[in-house]
Structure 1
Amino acid sequence: MPAFGDHVGRRIATTRKTKHMRQIDLARKAFLSLATIKGIERGARHPSDAALEAIAAALGVDPTRLLASFTGTERRVHAALPGISASIAGYDVPLDPPLRSLDELHTAVSDAVTWRLGAQYGQIAQHAPALLSDALAAFHTAPDRRAAARLVVGAARSADAVAYKYGARDLSARLIDLMRWAAPHTEDPLLTASVAYVRTEIFFIARAHEAGVKALEAAVDAAPAPTDPQASAARGTLHMRAAVIAGRAGDADAADEHLREARQLSEDVPEGTYLGTAFGPESVRVHEVSVAVSLGSDHIHRAFSIAREWAPSDDLPAERRSGFWIELARAQLWGNRFDDAFESLKVARLIAPQHTREHPWARDTAATLRRLKRADAESLDNFVGWLGAT
């Protein structure tokens, strides 16, 4: 076991130094003793799951960045799901007043959005039940219901990312219903458009792709005119999502038309996060790969053409960047580029370990590569074991 301690300790020390933190600073932020931090960093002590999660939280990274085989996050997420469910059970029933002010809740929801975009699902799971409860309590008691309703939408969307990624499909659907209930109270049609974007998850799960395309096209028609970057981004994200789900429906013409609309809207919109969703020229290119893969193996040349000339920059959220590499790996598998597919999966893991681990296509691609006995067998076996794929 010394190698385990040495490995984790070195990663913790390296990450700490990049954050310009002293050992005493890390100890204080992680609520651990200085002796514990020193012992872990030099490999003399093995961090418990709780200690590793506390250190990771203090460093602002996911625990799997410090230890790739760490599974404490998965346990923590599944342990949190009943609490998330309970927190929204009586969403329309006024209960106790919130424990936090609207300003405090705004900061907490902003943190949750950051964690979602960074694919730090363990962080979301830890805070989601209390955050949802407080946001709903604020909605029922705050003088400004519009601001409180925005907080409900933001908290529910972050919690939904956890529920959706970890297979709690019924809970995900309930959280989306909560967003759709709260959105009209914000009196913000752009936020309503962003909720329509999230709602598409339901159509993906049910494989109701044609219905999903129609729902998104109706949302585009209802969205405000693209007169500023926010409004352009709202429409653009809907077109990106519509392109992917049209691809899943096998409608290449509709997918291409939605991509053209998204590309045109992105021309005057700087890459960024708008109402919780990334949009801009890079995001559209990522979705071009998604559409190629969604249309099937006959269209993978489109994904290869993009990947030859371009890769997503660090300006994009980690979840979106890792998704690009996971989908590219799927195309590379279909194109018999087995070594490239494995390399792409490893890049995805490096960017967003939790997202990669819970992505069904990552598991399917890795498991297929192993069945075909392609790529380095030992490394691939280890990777498949980490994913929990079969």
Structure 2
Amino acid sequence: MQVHSVEHAGARVAHIRKARRLTQRALAERAAVSYSTVAKVEQGKMAASPSVLGALARALSVPVTELTGQPYMEELRADQLDGLIQPLREALDLYDVGADPEVRPRGVDVLSREAEALCAATRRAELRQVAAMLPALITESTTAAHTYGTDQAWRTLASAYRTGHDLAAKFGMTDLCTVALERMGWACRHGSDPAGSAVRQCLRGLVYLRAGDYRTGLRLIDSGMRCAEQAEPGVERDAVTGRLHLGAAVLHARAGEDEADEHLAEAERYAARTGEVQRVRWLCFGPTNVAVHRVSALAERDRYREAVEVADGMSASVLPASRVAHHHAEVARAQLVIGRADDAFASLREARRIAPQQTRLHPLVRETYAGLVAVKRRVPDNVLNYGSWLGR
């Protein structure tokens, strides 16, 4: 069965490039990527990697999201998520006007447990549930922080803001990510929380990773390391520091730098001390998380066969659903590049099974699907059905 043309990032690259009056060769020179890569990406014959998209976005002076097409509003509406975004924006906005006189906050222990529950639900990729409940929690926790003024109250609010960042990131809303992290930093300062501040700097670094600005991302990771040094020694500090090394590894890898291996080795050293931890500082960290980041770091440096070999020899099932689904999306792209198209589609289907809402909104899934369609002479119905589900 023949397939209609699939919209992909390459088509957006070509449109913006022509508006800038650049040839493909001129764009390739500006972006420091090969001419053949630009040509194949624009034609849809190659799934655009995050590093290539970052380089092209910088060369074209546009946000990466303009090339990926995020946020995917039609899909958000289809999942009835778009109407939940504005309440989140409003809750994030009203942070510095003091306690709301119409809100009677519950005890901090109750709010803290609810914040942890929503954090866990985000890691299970239950996006609709979290989006529906989070604005009210932020509003109530804001009043509680201003009313009680304890470190625990402020840290609970910081946790809610962190979940707001995670949610916005999965929706592809970079501006909302930035606002949530600014609020998180503000709450961490009030709560005298160096470990929370370190996590926040790590997340800021990953925002710049998605934007293709690796140098700034690494500066933020370094800042996070300094914050982590101020925390009390123990598993919490080790997990946060190890997670910062993983962030640095991916940033270096996406920049094509082998310093990624040094940071992976450091993260592995910390993981040997912490073991598998899932709920420390709203992070998952441990040997398995180091392994999935090793797959990422290899793929980011175009070492796809090695990435697939590492992935084939491990299981990510102990990690939260959101991270496992993301891992399968990364593996799918690597499998596609080395010619294992059927395995790539199997990985995309596994990502959908584990975290359907997240997978539907994942730009790497969409690019890999477009590349999968491009390499197939005749596209089977099950592949077309997957594309329909994606909204392609």
TM-score (norm 2): 0.76
Structure 1 residues 344 and 375, CA, compared in 2 at 3 Å: closer, same or farther? Answer: farther
Shift, 1:364, TM fit: 0.7
Percent identical residues: 32
Do 1:88 and 1:132's aligned partners in 2 also have CA atoms closer than 8 Å?
Answer: yes
Structure 1 residues 169 and 349, CA, compared in 2 at 3 Å: closer, same or farther? Answer: same
Q: Tell me the SS of whatever aligns to 1:278.
A: coil
Mapped partners of 1:287, 1:374: distance in 2: 33
Amino acid at match of 2:275: P
Shift, 1:227, TM fit: 4.0
Q: Are 1:312 and 2:321 an aligned pair?
A: no
Please name the residue that 1:166 is paired with.
171
Do 2:199 and 2:224's aligned partners in 1 also have CA atoms closer than 8 Å?
Answer: no
Residue 381 of structure 1, aligned match among 377, 380, 384? 384
Mapped partners of 2:206, 2:308: distance in 1: 26
Q: Tell me the SS of whatever aligns to 2:95.
A: coil
Q: Tell me the SS of whatever aligns to 1:250.
A: coil
Please name the residue that 2:53 is paired with.
none
Do 1:312 and 1:321's aligned partners in 2 also have CA atoms closer than 8 Å?
Answer: yes
Q: Are 1:102 and 2:108 an aligned pair?
A: yes
Amino acid at match of 1:175: A
Structure 1 residues 200 and 72, CA, compared in 2 at 3 Å: closer, same or farther? Answer: closer
Residue 370 of structure 2, aligned match among 362, 367, 371? 367
Residue 325 of structure 2, aligned match among 318, 322, 326? 322
Q: Are 1:300 and 2:304 an aligned pair?
A: yes
Structure 1 residues 117 and 374, CA, compared in 2 at 3 Å: closer, same or farther? Answer: farther
Q: Are 1:244 and 2:273 an aligned pair?
A: no
Shift, 1:285, TM fit: 0.2
Q: Tell me the SS of whatever aligns to 1:119.
A: coil
Do 2:200 and 2:224's aligned partners in 1 also have CA atoms closer than 8 Å?
Answer: no
Structure 1 residues 270 and 123, CA, compared in 2 at 3 Å: closer, same or farther? Answer: same
Q: Are 1:284 and 2:284 an aligned pair?
A: no
Q: Say what the alpha-carbon RMSD is for the aligned residues.
A: 1.9
Do 1:226 and 1:232's aligned partners in 2 also have CA atoms closer than 8 Å?
Answer: no
Q: Are 1:142 and 2:145 an aligned pair?
A: no
Mapped partners of 2:243, 2:78: distance in 1: 29
Q: Tell me the SS of whatever aligns to 1:215.
A: helix
Any idea what the Cα deviations from partners look like across 1:210-247, whole Å, max 9, x if unmatched? 11012202322331279422111010000001101111
Please name the residue that 1:131 is paired with.
137
Mapped partners of 1:266, 1:375: distance in 2: 46
Mapped partners of 1:182, 1:163: distance in 2: 18
Please name the residue that 1:88 is paired with.
92
Please name the residue that 1:61 is paired with.
none
Matches within 5 A, 1:328-343: 328-343=331-346
Shift, 1:187, TM fit: 1.5
Please name the residue that 2:224 is paired with.
219
Amino acid at match of 2:133: H
Residue 192 of structure 1, aligned match among 194, 197, 213? 197
Pick which of 204-213 and 129-138 moved more: 204-213
Mapped partners of 2:91, 2:234: distance in 1: 36
Q: Tell me the SS of whatever aligns to 2:274.
A: coil
Mapped partners of 1:375, 1:283: distance in 2: 37
Q: Tell me the SS of whatever aligns to 2:284.
A: strand
Residue 210 of structure 1, aligned match among 208, 215, 226? 215
Structure 1 residues 140 and 328, CA, compared in 2 at 3 Å: closer, same or farther? Answer: same
Matches within 5 A, 1:230-269: 230-252=236-258, 254-269=259-274
Shift, 1:372, TM fit: 2.0
The number of residue pairs the alignment matches comes to 314
Q: Tell me the SS of whatever aligns to 2:96.
A: coil
Please name the residue that 2:57 is paired with.
none
Any idea what the Cα deviations from partners look like across 1:275-306, whole Å, max 9, x if unmatched? 101000000001001111222x3x11221221
Q: Tell me the SS of whatever aligns to 1:268.
A: helix
Mapped partners of 2:371, 2:377: distance in 1: 9
Mapped partners of 2:255, 2:135: distance in 1: 36
Mapped partners of 2:107, 2:345: distance in 1: 47
Q: Are 1:120 and 2:126 an aligned pair?
A: yes
Shift, 1:321, TM fit: 0.9
Mapped partners of 2:201, 2:314: distance in 1: 30
Do 1:282 and 1:316's aligned partners in 2 also have CA atoms closer than 8 Å?
Answer: yes
Structure 1 residues 98 and 291, CA, compared in 2 at 3 Å: closer, same or farther? Answer: farther
Structure 1 residues 223 and 350, CA, compared in 2 at 3 Å: closer, same or farther? Answer: same
Structure 1 residue runs without a partner (length 5+): 1-70
Q: Are 1:346 and 2:349 an aligned pair?
A: yes
Mapped partners of 1:286, 1:360: distance in 2: 19
Mapped partners of 1:261, 1:221: distance in 2: 16
Mapped partners of 1:183, 1:226: distance in 2: 15
Do 1:147 and 1:186's aligned partners in 2 also have CA atoms closer than 8 Å?
Answer: yes
